[in-house]
Amino acid sequence: MRIIPSYKLGAFGPQEGEPTLYTWHWYDSHSGLALWVVLLVAMVAPRANRTPGVLLILVPVLLVYSAWLILAAVARLIMSDVEMLRMMILSLAVSAGVLWLMGHALASYGWFTRLILVSGIMGGIALIGTVSFSRDPSTQPIQFALLLCLLMLAMVLGNALAGRMCRRHYSPVRFILLLAAWTIAPATVGLLLLFTVSFVTASDGFYHVIRVLMETAVAGLILGGCAFVVSLVFVLVGLNSSLFRPRLFACLRMPLAPGPATAPDSAAPPAQRDSI
């Protein structure tokens, strides 16, 4: 790309300045393409996912992504904020989708191994999302990566703790309410811990510390609420799927409640005696 500044200066100077060359790659216009590739690989690579029912995972991903695009268009946010939030929402949606697609494999491991695997999957997707977002030199990839990992961790904790508390007494409403509480709370506390040290050391007065902490808590509640909404969309779709429903119950070690008939290729391994 060749950029030439021009302006009619008359007798005061030339109308065109020195040209600037900028290399524009085709993938610069598709910053989230790598995340979609990850989701596609997770859909087709495992043998258990090679069934038409796996296409249902695209419903929550597209719902979350489309809802964000509509919200961004209505809110008219700053362009840099739009790109950051777009990559964050897409990363959260893809990470949730990948975990649902890998639920049948994760359920066969003990809680510690399962935790390591989930952390690795989430960390890898967070890295891909960060790299996709940080090609712009004006961005702050470290802050973006930390915030993205925090929200992913909140989503994992929300599902794990809600599942643990529903092992004896399960109902969809109870699970969703616990999912909301245990997703929003870690996101809020984590964001406070993440920014407290830097805010306190950089502040010049007690009033500013209190104000910043209150604003951070509100931001944590909002971001935690967004992470919960992403999880909720997947839960609502997954609980009505004969493929994904058994995976959720097996992965969270919950007794399989009555629901859609289980697909032959999605049978989950029996619950083990370990705990999350």
- Residues 62 and 127: their CA atoms lie apart, in Å, by 21
pLDDT at 273 over 70: no
- Arithmetic mean of pLDDT, 168-192: 94
**Alpha-carbon distances, residue 41 vs 38, 158, 172, 238, 265 (angstroms):** 5, 26, 30, 19, 19
For residues 177 and 168, which has the higher predicted lDDT (pLDDT)?
177
Tell me, yes or no, whether 9 lies in a domain.
no
Beta-bridge mates of residue 2: 21
Tell me, yes or no, whether 20 lies in a domain.
no
Tally of structural domains, the chain = 1
Tens of pLDDT, residues 108-152: 898 889 989 998 999 899 989 888 776 554 456 777 888 899 999
User: Residue 195: pLDDT band by 50, 70, 90 thresholds?
Assistant: confident
Tell me, yes or no, whether 202 lies in a domain.
yes
* Closest alpha carbon to 151 in 210, 212, 76, 94: 94
Tell me, yes or no, whether 85 lies in a domain.
yes
pTM of the model: 0.79
CB of 111 closer than 8 Å to CB of 86: no
| Domain with 77 in it | 32-266
Tens of pLDDT, residues 210-238: 777 788 889 999 999 999 999 999 999 99
User: Residue 90: pLDDT band by 50, 70, 90 thresholds?
Assistant: very high
Strands (E), the chain: 2-3, 20-21
Tell me, yes or no, whether 151 lies in a domain.
yes
Tell me, yes or no, whether 81 lies in a domain.
yes
- Arithmetic mean of pLDDT, 150-159: 94
